[in-house]
Structure 1
Amino acid sequence: MSEKTENAEPIVTSAEASENEVLPRLYNARCNPDGSISSGEEALPEKVAKAPVAQKSPAQWAYERVILYIQNFEKQLDNEHEAAMGFAGGDAGVMRIEGLGYFDPDIITYHGTDQSGAKTQLVQHVSQLNVMLRALPKEVSHKEPNRIGFRLAAELEEDAKKE
């Protein structure tokens, strides 16, 4: 663990320095119905990939990764389903995802509607992050499923181009 001396920068071990400079990467492995295995690294949006983890707040880092998990989950869905979230602990139920946000340094927020159609927001500390992605039938009134993960990931790319 790093120490701080009076009027000086924190003292960081070589192991901590290496860990702090790690650039994020995404790796997935899946067992396919035909018995084969698909695995490998996946490309990250520029904004996510270019900044070392140590330069991000826990909230920003969790926000970016949840978006990428939603996007990857949506890649597996047909046009009749869209992503929703189930939450562990309590009786929060399932939320159709309409948006995500974060409040530095350590809060993630999820916006959406519950199964009765009521507007819903969950505010969660990053240390309690525990989300289950679920496929729900798309809303009958919508021609196309809402792909929130792709839209939010596109925003991560746009933010990187502005910097």
Structure 2
Amino acid sequence: MGDQIKTSAEAVEADAIPRRHEVHADPNVEACKEVPESVSQKPVGQKSPAEWAYERLILYIQNFEQQLDNEHEVAMGFAGGEAGVLRIEGMGFFDPDMITFYGSDSMGVKTQLVQHVSQLSVMLRALPKPSEEVAPTRIGFRLAADLGQSSS
């Protein structure tokens, strides 16, 4: 909030480059500050609201999974209503403004949520993995790998 003067080119560039910032009370939680190159290659103004929301959700899911132990997987709770929880097994977007989540509910029933980006409100949750013998599924890493491939 200084008196620094920016050229119009610097202002446009700053507007197009996504920034990320967070702070945590727990000093052991590593805050994510960098935006991956795969996300910042295409200017925000050239992305649909669905694509932009999808990319940022991938980063949040991946970061959340990095904090989980081997006994838990990522799921999402629905804000408002009694819709319950969905174990995230896939995610996508449909331009210009729809996001979809694929997964299963707490009873193991196949579930899909389709949501308009203006209504997007996701709470990430840690659910115990379904079986002790199986390694936890880390969808965030698969989504991030796809994000790197699809933006080139």
Shorter-chain TM-score range: 0.7 to 0.9
- Deviations along 1:85-121, whole A, 9 cap, x unmatched? 0011222110000011111100100100000111100
1:131 aligned residue: 122
1:42 aligned residue: 34
Question: Aligned to 1:28, what secondary structure does the other structure show?
Answer: coil
| C-alpha spacing 1:49/1:142, structure 2 compared with 1 (3 Å) | farther
Q: Structure 1 regions of 5+ residues with no counterpart?
A: 1-13
| Structure 2 residue identity aligned to 1:126 | V
- Aligned mate of 1:24, from 18, 27, 49: 18
| Structure 2 residue identity aligned to 1:131 | V
| C-alpha spacing 1:39/1:80, structure 2 compared with 1 (3 Å) | closer
Task: Please tell me whether the aligned partners of residues 18 and 35 of structure 2 are also in contact (alpha carbons under 8 angstroms).
Answer: no
- Aligned mate of 2:89, from 70, 74, 98: 98
Residue pairs, 1:1-163, within 5 angstroms: 18=12, 21-32=15-26, 39=31, 41-44=33-36, 46-140=37-131, 143-160=134-151, 163=152
TM-score by length of 2: 0.84
Q: Take 1:138 and 1:144, find their aligned partners in 2: how far apart are those partners?
A: 8
2:4 aligned residue: none
Higher relative contact order (CA 8 A, sep 6+): 2
| Structure 2 residue identity aligned to 1:60 | E
Q: Take 1:57 and 1:91, find their aligned partners in 2: how far apart are those partners?
A: 30
| Structure 2 residue identity aligned to 1:129 | L
> Highest Rg: 1 or 2?
1
Query: When the two structures are aligned, how many residues end up with a matched partner?
Result: 143
**What RMSD over aligned residues (CA atoms) do the two structures have, in Å?**
2.2
Q: Take 2:123 and 2:85, find their aligned partners in 1: how far apart are those partners?
A: 9
Displacement over 4 Å in runs of 4+: 37-40
| Structure 2 residue identity aligned to 1:28 | E
| C-alpha spacing 1:142/1:43, structure 2 compared with 1 (3 Å) | farther
2:5 aligned residue: none
- Note the C-alpha offset of 1:19: 8.0
TM-score by length of 1: 0.79
- Note the C-alpha offset of 1:31: 1.3
